[in-house]
Chain A
Amino acid sequence: MKNLFIVVLTVLLAGLSETAGAQSDSSETKRGPYTLVVSVGGGLSYYSTRLGVPSSLEQPTVSRFGIPATLRVMWHPDHRLRLGLETGLVPMYSYQGNAPASRARVRVSAIPILLVFSMPLAWLSGTERSLARRLAVSGGTGAYLIRSHLEYAGVVNSSRPSVGWMLGGSYTQPIGRKFRVATELKWFNASATEDAAFVLQLQLVWRAFSW
């Protein structure tokens, strides 16, 4: 299922790129406008892969849900492929249980630092108000800083980088000249540490600067 989803997205992105290239006007010398767009989002995350709880813990309780917050800065050029950076804090999972000495807790979260490419599905329809213009797919690659927090016989905070990637799909609704609201479903995947989470977010999108 995951592979199928990736294939469909790849076909879409490749098709978008092809269509964008085919529609460019080589006689046009003036470029722009360019826009810097800042998105701030929050929502719900679900840890969607195998997690490990030590068998030494008695009566363990596990939480796969969290409240992620992300910040994305995108450059919207005068063509459809957009480029930007994304970071934030994404809770992965936590568990707690009774260990021999006391109650023990572990929390795992990730700070994504990703190069993100995004493209609206606008080649399906040309009008500004069409649904397709407001739908976008995005994909990114880069690093995750995986953070672990242990409370048991003391507190230990650790972190390590992991290569990883993300995929997402969003819908954006204009609510003013400078602002939009968007909802986005994302898949964050940190490969080296085998951590992955689905994230559903509501985002405030600010078209901060145009030239």
Chain B
Amino acid sequence: MRVIPYVLISFLFLVFLGCRKQYEAPVPYEFANAPGAGRFTAPVRQSIEGVYGVTDGAAQFGEQVALKWSYVLDGADTTHFLSIFTGVDVCFFNLEVEPQADILALTGYWRKLVNTETGRTRLAVRVKRNGQLQRYSGGLTAGDTLVLDGVYGNRTAEPTQKLTFTYRRPLNQKPFSILAHRSGGRTSDLLSVSENSIEIIRLASRLGATGIEIDVRYTKDGVPILYHDNSLNLRLIQKNGLDGAIEKYTYQQLQTFVRLINGERIPTLEEALETILTNTTLNFVWLDTKYIGPMDKVQALQQKFRQRAILARRDLRIVIGLPTQGAVDAYNALPDKENTPILCELDTAITRSLNARIWAPRWTLGPQTEEVLAMKSENRTVFVWTLDEPKFIEQFITEGRFDGILSNYSPVVAYYHYIGQ
């Protein structure tokens, strides 16, 4: 028996089996999530936002970055986070203030969503005055330049590599919607929280989003919940033995048995809207219609939270997405369509026939310049979905025809929008 070919075949088989790598990207920093801003007063925070050149660390994070504050609200408490968006490998930083430090100090982590690279980082805010780096406590004068300098590291290792950002210009202030898919991001991108969970809604702003798209389905007993896929599966939930369409299970059964990948419960639409209204500064919610059937319960929640947003003087639009003819039929079947904003993903003719104020074509249909301009001339808003390619995100933002982009990579959309001039 000639042995060598069989040994080779076996070796290849072994290599094949051995290649099933488990990918993980745990957050290497534990946030204190302490409310308050410490020394980062409102004028200081405002002065820090901007586009910065990367002096040290450009090989890892690119030539320039955009710095933007975000907030999580909890009753009267506000927790402040600084996000840094880079143009490289869908990389972002999440930093929190160090209230105990006697300087303006920030600490947190960075992460690249196209791979599992992550690490801790610490930065201090200083001002360059007359060529000298000085302590900054607010109050910039002509000729001053803000500098954030510090260190970054890999994984949980103590940060040692130098990192310096130098202020260049303010952020692009042009109105633009940065819409995060699946309530903030995908589970498959190894975020610290699961897609379509309450936790990712609270995280969405820190990933650059100004609005979110959430996937709505019904349980067997008619409770609107957030879930993307049409079945329970190990991509989205922890192993529990249950399978099949989520619509076969009651809300009580799902609450008892099903946990999302990172351990969260499947939230109801009402819980999600409550979180958006009371805990975030998000200003747009796109309710994606994943269900087949009556739309009345979703409409009722939309109207309830729209009223609450008005009473709370919150700038918050909640719209029902119509991605299919079935969803259009469900919308048309509503007895009262007043005060029910919709977003149509179908063609311009259907959008006009429904008098939808928002048209959202898929990005793979191309720029559709004529159609986009025509819809905008009719005072309609035009979004494009679901665009994750940085090259096209940059192109679409530079061309400036769309009013917003729905993406799984909101940090990339934020980067290209904010660095715009």
Closest A residue to B12 by CB, please name it: A10
In whole Å, how far is A18's beta carbon from the nearest beta carbon of chain B?
A: 6
Is A11's beta carbon under 8 Å from chain B? yes
Interface extent on B, as a size class? Answer: 20 to 34
Q: Are A150 and B257 in contact (CB under 8 A)?
A: yes
Q: Are B256 and A7 in contact (CB under 8 A)?
A: no
Q: Are A153 and B2 in contact (CB under 8 A)?
A: no
In whole Å, how far is B262's beta carbon from the nearest beta carbon of chain A?
A: 13
Point out which of A15, A51, A54, A104 has the most chain B C-beta atoms below 10 A from its C-beta.
A54
Q: Are B257 and A106 in contact (CB under 8 A)?
A: yes
Is A146's beta carbon under 8 Å from chain B? yes
Is A181's beta carbon under 8 Å from chain B? no
Known A146-B243, A160-B231; judge A15-B6 contact (CB<8 A): yes
Q: Are B243 and A52 in contact (CB under 8 A)?
A: no
Residues of chain A within 8 A of B239, CB atoms compared = 50-52, 194
Q: Are A152 and B244 in contact (CB under 8 A)?
A: no
Q: Are B18 and A148 in contact (CB under 8 A)?
A: no
In whole Å, how far is B204's beta carbon from the nearest beta carbon of chain A?
A: 27
Is A198's beta carbon under 8 Å from chain B? no
Is B1's beta carbon under 8 Å from chain A? yes
Is B374's beta carbon under 8 Å from chain A? no
CA distance A83 to B256 in the complex (A): 45
Q: Are A159 and B244 in contact (CB under 8 A)?
A: yes
Q: Are B256 and A54 in contact (CB under 8 A)?
A: yes
Residues of chain A within 8 A of B11, CB atoms compared = 7
Q: Are B6 and A11 in contact (CB under 8 A)?
A: yes
Within 8 A of A (CB), among B252-292: 252-253, 255-259
CA distance A1 to B391 in the complex (A): 46
Q: Are B252 and A101 in contact (CB under 8 A)?
A: yes
Closest B residue to A106 by CB, please name it: B241
Digitize A134-154: 1 where CB-to-B-CB distance is under 8 Å, 0 elsewhere: 000000000000111010111
CA distance A146 to B241 in the complex (A): 9
Q: Are B10 and A10 in contact (CB under 8 A)?
A: yes
Within 8 A of B (CB), among A136-194: 146-148, 150, 152-154, 156, 158-160, 192-194
CA distance A57 to B242 in the complex (A): 14
CA distance A194 to B22 in the complex (A): 14
Digitize B1-34: 1 where CB-to-A-CB distance is under 8 Å, 0 elsewhere: 1100111011101100110000000000000000
Is A6's beta carbon under 8 Å from chain B? yes
CA distance A194 to B1 in the complex (A): 37
Closest B residue to A12 by CB, please name it: B6
Known A54-B259, A99-B256, A193-B234; judge A148-B244 contact (CB<8 A): yes
Is A100's beta carbon under 8 Å from chain B? yes
Q: Are A160 and B244 in contact (CB under 8 A)?
A: yes
Q: Are A154 and B231 in contact (CB under 8 A)?
A: no
Residues of chain A within 8 A of B256, CB atoms compared = 54, 56-57, 99-101, 104, 152-153
Q: Are A153 and B250 in contact (CB under 8 A)?
A: yes
CA distance A52 to B7 in the complex (A): 37
B241 touches which of A11, A93, A192 (Cβ 8 Å): A93
Q: Are A10 and B5 in contact (CB under 8 A)?
A: no
In whole Å, how far is B4's beta carbon from the nearest beta carbon of chain A?
A: 11
CA distance A50 to B248 in the complex (A): 25
Is A108's beta carbon under 8 Å from chain B? yes
Residues of chain A within 8 A of B238, CB atoms compared = 52
Within 8 A of B (CB), among A3-62: 3, 6-7, 10-11, 14-15, 18-19, 50-57
Within 8 A of A (CB), among B219-260: 231-234, 238-245, 248-250, 252-253, 255-259
Q: Are A52 and B253 in contact (CB under 8 A)?
A: no
Point out which of B2, B240, B250, B258 has the most chain A C-beta atoms below 10 A from its C-beta.
B240
Point out which of B1, B233, B234 has the most chain A C-beta atoms below 10 A from its C-beta.
B1
Is A95's beta carbon under 8 Å from chain B? yes
CA distance A150 to B242 in the complex (A): 7
Residues of chain B within 8 A of A51, CB atoms compared = 239, 241
Residues of chain B within 8 A of A18, CB atoms compared = 1-2, 6
Known A19-B1, A156-B248; judge A148-B253 contact (CB<8 A): no
User: 21 interchain pairs (CB within 8 A)?
Assistant: A6-B14, A7-B10, A7-B13, A11-B6, A14-B6, A18-B6, A19-B1, A51-B239, A52-B240, A54-B256, A56-B255, A56-B256, A100-B256, A104-B256, A150-B242, A150-B253, A150-B257, A153-B253, A158-B232, A159-B244, A160-B231
A residues near B (Cβ < 8 Å) are 3, 6-7, 10-11, 14-15, 18-19, 50-57, 93, 95, 99-101, 104, 106-108, 146-148, 150, 152-154, 156, 158-160, 192-194
Nearest first, the 8 A-B pairs at minimum CB distance are: A158-B244, A52-B239, A14-B6, A7-B10, A148-B243, A106-B241, A108-B241, A158-B243
